[in-house]
């Protein structure tokens, strides 16, 4: 304040030492002190009395580029004005610290990571990585530090707009869906009251969902004959992988990660463990005679690897893109994908007259509701065995040039 007696000079502060003591306290007037430690570090402290009790408050570290004598006096005067107004600077700082800690514990990022951890065991690794990347690259940099309860719709929309500015309209919709799941988790755990993603419906640029390319059923004969010639362009293992994918119509990731221990050749069954399934539920694939024959050939070419489709490193499976690029080489770029075999099989099997529930179970489109979807690994198994054999017979027939349409279910 104006009547404060200033005792220290800049030279005093620069040259101050503890004089061999553990701590020396140099007074500057108005309760301001420079504390000098034995190791040479120097700190500004404000000493004051409140309600008959002596207290002190840190005003920063003295040194070049830090809190100078002039700065310390300004801070002292500012804190004394607060004291004259009846405020306790120390208590106020503690309150601010608590509020910041509370905000950090309830930030969007904290809530999102907590939600992510709860969901992680239900996801396959690829999906888990996608969700994590969408959060870390698109949401955390914009609203991650904000208390989730204080975020408003325009803030969330701003995050979405930054994605749209890159032309990633589909991604913006996907990220919005993820944000909605985080907000709903925040509501359930008492950290916020609203799912702001619902407020943004209609606010994002419309986009057309990109479906995985798949040929029509009537185009399958040409595709199967092309696959039969793939060895002229590439390797036998990839040709057999495409053929097995066609005969089993599992997801590409489920096929390339297959291990020999999953197959019971005597029972003609392939049991894909829950850990490798998209829905985290064990899946049974009946093996037709044709599928078994393909596997027998693969057994002879796998070189003792535990993987059915080992890569150059026999301890790892082939790349995710192996079959996609093989389809490219066959001239089906933009026309067919590994996932496309599932679409074609679903269409054709429905035309054959197989029951939709049987087809859906074989596609592993199982109900996630724990009550309705309690999974029986043998559900519809006799009918599924007949269906898979009839599907393989159909593929064989069209690959050999027979002019057939999907037959009715036997």
Residue whose C-alpha is closest to residue 398's, from 220, 156, 256, 175: 220
- Terminal CA-CA length for the chain: 98
Query: Which of 339, 355, 385, 386 is flagged as catalytic?
Result: 339
Pairing between β-strand 283-286 and β-strand 53-61 as defined by DSSP bridges: unpaired
Helices then strands, counting H and E runs in the chain, come out as 16, 7
Residue 128 burial (CB < 10 Å; 0-12/13-18/19+)? middle
Answer yes or no: 339 catalytic: yes
Query: Which of 73, 134, 251, 283 is flagged as catalytic?
Result: 251
Helix or strand run (H / E) with residue 326: helix 322-329
Residue whose C-alpha is closest to residue 279's, from 181, 180, 363, 170: 363
Residue 7 near residue 30, CB atoms below 8 Å: no
Strand, coil or helix: what is 378? Answer: coil
Residue 169 near residue 205, CB atoms below 8 Å: yes
Tokens of 224: 């199967």
What are the two backbone dihedrals, phi and then psi, of residue 56, each rounded to the nearest 5 degrees?
Answer: -140, 155
DSSP assigned state of 147 = B
Answer yes or no: 335 catalytic: no
Query: Which of 93, 145, 314, 365 is flagged as catalytic?
Result: 365
Answer yes or no: 162 catalytic: no
Helix or strand run (H / E) with residue 263: strand 263-264
Answer yes or no: 94 catalytic: no
Rounded Cα distance between 306 and 284, Å, is: 19
Residue 48 near residue 28, CB atoms below 8 Å: no
In Å, how far are 160, 161, 190, 200, 314 from 167, measured between CA atoms?
Answer: 11, 10, 35, 18, 40
Q: Given strand 283-286, what is the order of strands in its sheet? A: 263-264, 269-272, 283-286
Query: Which of 169, 328, 375, 385 is flagged as catalytic?
Result: 375
Q: Report, as residue numbers or ranges, the catalytic residues.
A: 251, 278, 339, 342, 365, 375
């Amino acid at each position: 304040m104006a009547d404060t007696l200033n005792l220290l000079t800049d030279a005093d502060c620069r040259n101050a030492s503890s004089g061999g003591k553990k701590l020396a306290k140099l007074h500057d007037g108005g309760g301001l002190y420079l504390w000098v430690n034995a190791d040479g570090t120097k700190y500004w402290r404000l000493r004051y009395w409140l309600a008959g009790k002596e207290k002190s408050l840190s005003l920063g570290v003295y040194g070049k580029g830090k809190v100078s004598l002039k700065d310390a006096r300004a801070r002292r005067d500012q804190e004394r004005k607060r004291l004259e107004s009846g405020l306790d600077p120390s208590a106020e700082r503690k309150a601010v610290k608590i509020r910041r800690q509370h905000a950090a514990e309830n930030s969007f990022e904290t809530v999102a990571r907590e939600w992510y951890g709860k969901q992680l065991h239900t996801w396959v690794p690829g999906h888990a990585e996608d969700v994590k990347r969408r959060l870390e690259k698109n949401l955390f940099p914009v609203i991650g530090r904000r208390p989730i309860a204080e975020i408003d719709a325009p803030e969330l929309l701003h995050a979405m707009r930054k994605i749209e500015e890159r032309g990633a309209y589909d991604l913006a919709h996907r990220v919005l869906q993820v944000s909605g799941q985080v907000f709903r988790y925040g509501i359930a755990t008492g950290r916020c009251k609203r799912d702001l993603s619902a407020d943004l419906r209609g606010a994002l640029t419309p986009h057309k969902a990109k479906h995985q390319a798949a040929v029509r059923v009537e185009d399958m004969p040409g595709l199967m004959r092309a696959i039969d010639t793939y060895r002229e362009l590439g390797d036998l293992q990839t040709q057999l992988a495409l053929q097995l994918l066609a005969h089993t119509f599992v997801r590409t990731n489920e096929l390339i990660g297959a291990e020999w221990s999953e197959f019971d050749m005597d029972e003609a069954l392939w049991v894909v463990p829950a850990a490798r399934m998209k829905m985290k539920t064990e899946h049974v694939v009946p093996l037709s005679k044709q599928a078994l024959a393909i596997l027998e050939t693969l057994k002879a070419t796998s070189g003792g690897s535990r993987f059915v489709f080992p890569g150059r490193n026999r301890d790892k499976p082939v790349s995710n893109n192996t079959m996609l690029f093989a389809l490219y080489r066959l001239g089906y770029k933009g026309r067919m994908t590994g996932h496309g075999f599932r679409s074609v099989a679903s269409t054709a099997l429905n035309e054959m007259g197989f029951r939709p529930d049987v087809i859906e179970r074989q596609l592993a489109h199982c109900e996630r509701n724990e009550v309705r979807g309690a999974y029986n690994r043998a559900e519809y198994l006799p009918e599924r065995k007949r269906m898979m054999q009839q599907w393989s017979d159909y593929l064989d027939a069209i690959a050999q040039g027979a002019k057939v349409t999907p037959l009715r279910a036997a």
